[in-house]
């Protein structure tokens, strides 16, 4: 088994590509070992000293470190991922599956058409690009011209996430939807 690695815009996060589907649908993020207890792979990754978060996408795993150098952490992380896939263990224990639950969405009913367009733009233009960087962005709400988004994986805590929100996503949404004034991360 050959696992590729890719840098992400977040220097504390590295993207691992095992060359197979990790999650057929949805995403999973664990920011603590306790959140990772539902996944044997997440448990293996959190057992590596210095690992502070894991994120599973369609065909990748992103791992975030607290400190230390990647050249010291990478072999143990690669070993954990390889061991998981070679043993054929399930990604989740006890029937647990992907979650998209970032909290309840909020928006006024009169904004339903705008919200649908925001979600469509997120799905078709923004999420694929962000997945390429090892993360995900999901809709949380829309109120008074502000779009609220949840950033996950490599995007969560990324130094360039503010620029991505302001210059990329905000400008794109404002271009298509004059009602959008600003974009904020939740």
Question: Mean per-residue pLDDT for 164-178?
Answer: 85
At 102 the pLDDT is 57
* Beta bridge pairs of residue 50: none
Q: Are 44 and 84 in contact (CB under 8 A)?
A: yes
Q: Is the pLDDT score of 119 beyond 60?
A: yes
pLDDT score of 48 more than 90: yes
Mean pLDDT across the stretch 23-27?
88
165-171's contacts with Cβ under 8 Å and 24+ in sequence apart are 168/126, 169/126, 169/137
Query: For residues 132-154, b (16+ Cβ closer than 10 Å) or e, as one string?
Result: ebbbbbbbbbbeeeebbbbbbbb
**What are the start and end residues of each CATH 3.30.1370.70 domain in the chain?**
4-87
pLDDT at 91: 92
Return residue ranges of the chain for CATH 3.30.300.130.
106-185
User: Strand 13-17 vs strand 28-30: parallel, antiparallel, or unpaired?
Assistant: unpaired
DSSP 101: -
Interatomic CA distance for residues 94 and 77, integer angstroms:
24
Instruction: Give the CATH number of domain 4-87.
Output: 3.30.1370.70
- 95-106 pLDDT tens trace: 665 555 557 888
pLDDT in tens, 53-63: 999 999 999 99
pLDDT winner (highest mean) among 21-25, 44-48, 149-153, 173-177: 44-48
Which residues face 28 on adjacent strands? 56
SS3 category, 117: helix
In terms of CATH, what superfamily is 106-185? Fe-S cluster assembly (FSCA) (3.30.300.130)
> What is the average pLDDT score of the chain?
87
Q: What is the DSSP track for 11-42?
A: TTEEEEE-SS-S-SSS-EEESSTTGGGG-HHH
Contact assessment for residue 118 and residue 177, using Cβ atoms and an 8 Å cutoff: yes
């Amino acid at each position: 088994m050959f696992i590729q690695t890719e840098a992400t815009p977040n220097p504390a996060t590295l993207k691992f590509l095992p060359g197979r589907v990790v999650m057929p649908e949805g995403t999973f993020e664990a920011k603590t070992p306790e959140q990772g207890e539902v996944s044997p792979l997440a448990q293996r990754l959190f057992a590596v000293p210095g690992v502070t978060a894991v994120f599973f996408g369609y065909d990748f795993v992103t791992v975030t470190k607290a400190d230390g150098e990647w050249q010291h952490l990478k072999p143990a992380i690669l070993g954990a991922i390889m061991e998981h896939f070679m043993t054929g263990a399930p990604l989740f224990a006890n029937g647990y599956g992907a979650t998209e639950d970032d909290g309840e969405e909020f928006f006024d009913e009169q904004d339903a058409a705008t919200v649908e367009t925001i979600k469509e733009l997120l799905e078709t233009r923004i999420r694929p690009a962000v997945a390429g960087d090892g993360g995900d962005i999901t809709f949380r709400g829309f109120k008074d011209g502000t779009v609220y988004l949840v950033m996950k994986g490599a995007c969560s805590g990324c130094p360039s996430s503010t620029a991505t929100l302001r210059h990329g996503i905000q400008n794109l949404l404002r271009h298509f939807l004059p009602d959008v004034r600003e974009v904020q991360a939740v």
